[in-house]
A and B are shown apart, each in its own frame.
Chain A
Amino acid sequence: MYLYDQHDRQIAAERVEQFRDQTRRALAGELAEDEFLPLRLQNGLYVQRLAPMLRIAVPYGMLRSDQLRRLARICRDYDKGYAHFTTRQNVQLNWPALEDVPDILAELAEVEMHANQTSGNCIRNTTTDQFSGVQDDEIADPRPYCEIIRQWSTFHPEFAFLPRKFKVAVNASEHSDRAAIQVHDIGLQLVRSENGELGFRVHVGGGLGRTPMVGPVIRDYLPEKDLLTYLEAVLRVYNRYGRRDNKFKARIKILVKALTPEGFAEKVEAEWAHIKDSPTQLTGEAIEKFQTYFTEPAYQQVPDVADILATQRFENRPFDQWIAQNVDTHKKPGYAIVTLTMKKTGTPPGDVSDRQLEQIADLADDYSFGEARVTHQQNAVLADVRKDRLYDLWQAISPMGFGTANLNKLTDVICCPGGDYCSLANAKSIPVAEAIQRKFEDLDYLYDIGDLDLNISGCMNACGHHHVGNIGVLGVDKKGQEFYQISLGGSSHHDAAIGKILGPSFARDAMPDVIKSIVDVYIDNRTQEEAFLDTYRRIGIDPFKERVYA
């Protein structure tokens, strides 16, 4: 469980009153539109194509059942009965009225939620692996460090008006990177030193958008107690020297590139030398205190059900497929991590109705100590499910549409809201996702293809993270017509890479067949153990080009 204390509650309540006051002054004309803009953005409020959009923070993706139920009620009372899970572990409302937003924030604060810094040119919410604290291969639980960063960055007086937005992600697993840290402004990988002490490898200057880049390492090892002073040094260098003359060149990656990673690191080290030993340096006691904010549930001794599970899997193929695809290993014997897939064909990726939010809340209460998590792949997770209850759970979720056994498969599409909702989009993304999902409905075929990240963005802002999809799709506008450009070979994991553009773009109708041709080239060329990305890296882009543009 993620715990708030009285200080957090007080600051959240004060923030609601501040935003109420700001909204009142904006509606009364005392704040000009351009003056209100950064204030509302730093509170997650966009003004979009059809209505305002409110982005609510879900720190570390963790939601208690009472928070899920409150979100459901807010969707019903203030919106059209559904919300959207984003690619950065946030929840968005698509249709709130501007004047209702202070009341929505007050309702959120009652359940210890907020929309702080979910947008705007400030330090955004810190994200991490959705399996944090329960997976079996993490170096340490990353969430206490994320919370240390959240508290430090919340209303930081020096960094409220940065050149551009700033995103931090933390990863703790040695073998996987579900937080995509190398495509963040700062990516922190938890590591242990030779003496066994905890620290971070620091990447700075990764990012997607117009100039996609994999973040270079600027420090191999940062002791954990130096986390905040070092971040403060990075941010101060960026705040002072990041470009402010051109919005498209204002991200920290441009500064890192201009100075070179070595030159940037030198500047940071010089700044850090001054503040390293300031009271912002963490203490062992403080880190321990932050660890107590993430309590372990009361795990029980679960009887060994290996034999029963094996029989259930043998007798029931869909259950077997679901276990194989959607259930992960837990650090505690007798428990499993279950991903509830939200990508049933025909459902816009990430969209979730008020009823579904309540269903997830009920499932969390019945199966997972009252807590669920949202993932940056736009699915939900029950992190602590007893293995002897997996079959019950599977039966419960199948009619709800959460049991599609396609996790990390091609139809588990990551997708932004696109031109259906977003005023920035050049093209629709959701109908493309759906058409592709229909093409790959046969599960045996889907499993034969294996793990494959398909990411779709409706514009260059890359909310669907198309650059890091093994197959990436970008919506582009050509003389008022929607077209789709494909890139291949991207990855957001430890082997992070930016995809390479295949060639000229395609009309929407052609997309399912184009994706099919790309997959065919992989199947024709792969060796037995190769995933899509391995084959692509071995044979290069040309065989794909030849087939697709034949």
Chain B
Amino acid sequence: MPEVIAKDGSMTNDEWVVVQRPADGESLDLPDKPALIPADLWLAGKDHFQGDKSIGVWFDSHQEPEILEGLVNEVDVIAVNFPKFADGRGYSIARLLRERLGYKNELRAIGDVLLDQLQFMKRCGFDRFVLRSDKNAEEAARCLNFFSQGYQAATDTDIPLFRRRAS
């Protein structure tokens, strides 16, 4: 059962399973538990999956979140995969999901998720983090909160510091 960190650093457990992309010609192998499936496959099988609360989606870092335009709130969980922590595309994907596509439900970071990246993920709209298993989840709360404020607007606040200073 994955240990999931919330935005405030607290830990929960849940049942969501990430279903990998099947090989060419194979079909999706869905578990009995709530499952996150590749976003493009959800879209391809939309008529079947829509309304099923036990199915969420995940994006890989090279994918475009715009494919789910108008549909994002049909799922309760969207995950964004960081294949390597240094691959920063997931941050843009998260902001686009939240700020462009209006996604309101849970946004979770999966893959090579390390402690020192959590602060950036939180600001870009992630609210759940599945830390890489060798990392100490006890440290997450501290790493999420090194900074009391940021200079720029992002998903967490649309008021940049220059506007707060002016008021």
Contact = CB atoms under 8 A, between A and B. Distances in A.
A289 B165 CA distance: 9
Interface residues of B, number: 37
Contact of A151 (B114, B151, B154): B151
B160 A10 contact: no
B108 to A, nearest CB: 17
Nearest to B93: A240
B142 interface: yes
Contacts of B163: 279, 283, 286
Greatest chain A CB density within 10 A among B123, B142, B150, B160 is at B160
A14 B148 CA distance: 8
A532 to B, nearest CB: 43
B124 A157 contact: yes
B85 to A, nearest CB: 7
A17 interface: yes
Contacts of B159: 279
A413 interface: no
Nearest to B86: A161
A51 interface: no
Contacts, number: 112
A535 interface: no
Contacts of A14: 146-148
Interface string B32-48: 00000000000000000
A152 B152 contact: yes
Given A38-B86, A162-B88, A240-B89, A280 B114 contact: no
Given A157-B150, A239-B92, A35 B162 contact: no
A156 interface: yes
Given A18-B146, A158-B92, A151 B120 contact: no
B104 to A, nearest CB: 18
A186 interface: no
A500 B91 CA distance: 40
Given A14-B146, A17-B146, A285-B166, A240 B92 contact: yes
Interface in B60-116: 85-89, 91-92, 95, 100, 114, 116
Interface in A274-314: 274, 278-280, 282-283, 285-286, 289-290
A236 interface: yes
B161 A244 contact: no
Interface string A160-180: 111100000000000000000
A161 B165 contact: no
A129 to B, nearest CB: 23
B13 interface: no
Contacts of B27: none
Interface string B114-130: 10110111111000000
B162 A160 contact: no
B162 A21 contact: no
Greatest chain B CB density within 10 A among A21, A121, A158 is at A158
A39 B116 CA distance: 8
A408 interface: no
A155 B142 CA distance: 17
Greatest chain B CB density within 10 A among A10, A22, A155 is at A155
Nearest to A35: B114
Contact of B142 (A21, A158, A239): A21
Contacts of B149: 7, 10-11
B162 A157 contact: no
B91 A239 contact: yes
Interface in A394-424: none
Nearest to A122: B88
Closest 10 CB pairs of A and B: A161-B88, A157-B123, A157-B120, A18-B146, A151-B151, A286-B162, A158-B91, A279-B158, A280-B153, A152-B152
Interface of A: 5, 7, 10-11, 14-15, 17-18, 21-22, 30-31, 35, 38-39, 121, 148, 151-152, 154-163, 228, 236, 239-240, 244, 274, 278-280, 282-283, 285-286, 289-290
Given A159-B91, A239-B89, A244-B87, 9 more contacts: A5-B165, A121-B86, A148-B162, A151-B161, A157-B150, A161-B88, A239-B91, A244-B89, A289-B165
29 contacts: A11-B151, A15-B146, A17-B146, A18-B146, A35-B85, A121-B88, A151-B152, A156-B151, A157-B91, A157-B121, A157-B122, A157-B124, A158-B92, A158-B120, A158-B154, A160-B91, A160-B120, A161-B87, A161-B91, A161-B117, A228-B152, A239-B89, A239-B91, A274-B100, A282-B162, A283-B162, A286-B166, A289-B162, A289-B166
